């Protein structure tokens, strides 16, 4: 269930960037240097370089329509897949580093498959950030999620065509990174299906804001192409809800056909 779990982590990181944005300040004067990425999700299945900080607690959950190489819907007894995540961010990514720590539950039907992830990030100024991380450091057995490490750079594009001067945000955002494990190693099912043993080990995502309402997203996770949308609803100034939905495995490089994912996340700074 690697795809869904990676998706939760990406959604949570983008959410926490939203909560922490007011604490980020550009050091270099000039047009648009104090702008930040918009408040909607930036990725479906890949990391972004933003992350939790300043004592922020976050949580998320989601499902996919079916697991790869299975049959039925996400609500059937033997084909569905889903998970949940809860985490904490500390530190100051502007002056030094932010650290995001998360506990992931990989199977909501049994609640006995757990793993940890760590994400260290630093704000570079001018709507950009860099991060390194480790995922799926297992605390239990019985999951197909592979221990993985990555580095990623994220950037909000600061050009007149892609900024919103009303709220000082960027409409276009991208990330590029490289990783091990799930970013380059095909599953045994993929290998048996003749889809090779390795992916690209390079991943990336692009998000663009439409109509000042939500982002359209596409990403490549080292194995396959995915696309979707994300919207943040501000229940109050300090209580956002992020909803992201998409279609994954759009090409034939992994899996056995297109699947669908939906996830929701929230967080609060203590």
pLDDT confidence of residue 78: 44
25 pLDDT higher than 60:
no
Q: What is the CATH number of the domain that holds 75?
A: 2.40.160.40
Counting residues of the chain whose pLDDT is more than 70, the rounded percentage is 80
pLDDT 10s digits, 81-101: 678 889 999 999 989 999 999
As a whole number, mean pLDDT of residues 161-189 equals 92
81-91 and 98-105 beta bridge pairing: antiparallel
Per-residue pLDDT averaged across 138-150, rounded? 77
pLDDT score of 209 more than 90: yes
- Min mean pLDDT across 38-42, 66-70, 155-159, 170-174 is at 66-70
HEC sequence for the chain: CHHHHHHHHHHHHHHHHHHHHHHCCCCCCCCCCCCEECCCCCCCCCCCCCCCCCCEEEEEEEEECCCCCCCCCCCCCCCCEEEEEEEEEEECCCCCCEEEEEEEECCCCCCCCEEEEEEEEEEEECCEEEEEEEEEEECCCCCCCCCEEEEEEEEECCCHHHEECCCCEECEEEEEEEECHHHCECCHHHHHCCCCCECCCEEEEEEEEECCCEEEEEEECCCCEEEEEEEEEEEECCEEEEEEEEEECCCCCCCCCCEEEEEEEEEEEC
Which is more confident, 17 or 185?
A: 185
Q: Which pLDDT band holds residue 75 (cuts at 50, 70, 90)?
A: very low
pLDDT at 263 over 60: yes
Least confident segment among 54-58, 128-132, 150-154, 155-159: 54-58
Give residue 2's pLDDT: 43
Q: Which pLDDT value is given to residue 230?
A: 92
Per-residue model confidence as pLDDT tens digits over 222-238: 999 999 999 988 888 77
Burial 11-34 (b: 16+ CB within 10 A, else e): bbbbbbbbbbeeebebeeeeebeb
Note the pLDDT of residue 203: 96
pLDDT of residue 26 exceeding 50: no
pTM, 2 dp? 0.88
Range with the lowest mean pLDDT among 86-95, 108-117, 257-266?
A: 108-117
The answer to whether 178 and 150 have CB atoms below 8 angstroms apart is yes
In the chain, the number of structural domains is 1
Q: Which tokens belong to 160? A: 């007149």
- pLDDT of residue 137 exceeding 50, the answer is yes
- pLDDT per position as a tens digit, 155-170: 999 999 999 888 888 9
Q: Domain of 194? A: 2-269
């Amino acid at each position: 269930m690697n795809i869904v779990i990676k998706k939760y982590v990406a959604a949570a990181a983008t959410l926490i960037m939203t909560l922490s944005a007011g604490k980020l300040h550009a050091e270099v004067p000039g047009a648009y240097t104090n702008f930040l990425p918009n408040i909607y999700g930036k990725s479906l299945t890949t990391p972004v370089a933003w992350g939790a900080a300043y004592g922020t607690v976050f949580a998320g959950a989601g499902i996919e329509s079916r697991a790869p190489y299975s049959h039925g819907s996400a609500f059937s007894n033997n084909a569905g897949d889903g998970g949940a995540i809860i985490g904490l961010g500390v530190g100051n990514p502007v002056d030094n580093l932010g650290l995001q720590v998360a506990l992931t539950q990989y199977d909501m039907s049994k609640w006995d498959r757990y793993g940890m992830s760590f994400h260290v990030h630093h704000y570079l100024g001018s709507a950009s950030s860099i991060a390194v991380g480790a995922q799926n450091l297992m605390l239990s057995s019985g999951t197909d999620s592979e221990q993985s490490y990555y580095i990623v750079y994220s950037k909000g594009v600061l050009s007149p065509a892609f900024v919103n001067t009303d709220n000082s945000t960027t409409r276009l955002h991208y990330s590029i990174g490289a990783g091990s494990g799930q970013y380059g190693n095909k599953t045994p099912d993929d290998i048996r299906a003749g889809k090779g043993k390795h992916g690209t080990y390079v991943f990336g995502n692009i998000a663009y804001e439409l109509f000042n309402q939500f982002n359209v997203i596409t990403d490549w996770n080292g194995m396959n192409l995915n696309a979707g949308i994300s919207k943040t609803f501000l229940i109050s100034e300090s209580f956002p809800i992020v909803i992201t939905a998409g279609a994954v495995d759009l090409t034939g490089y992994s899996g056995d056909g297109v699947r669908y994912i939906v996830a929701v996340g929230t967080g609060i700074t203590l």
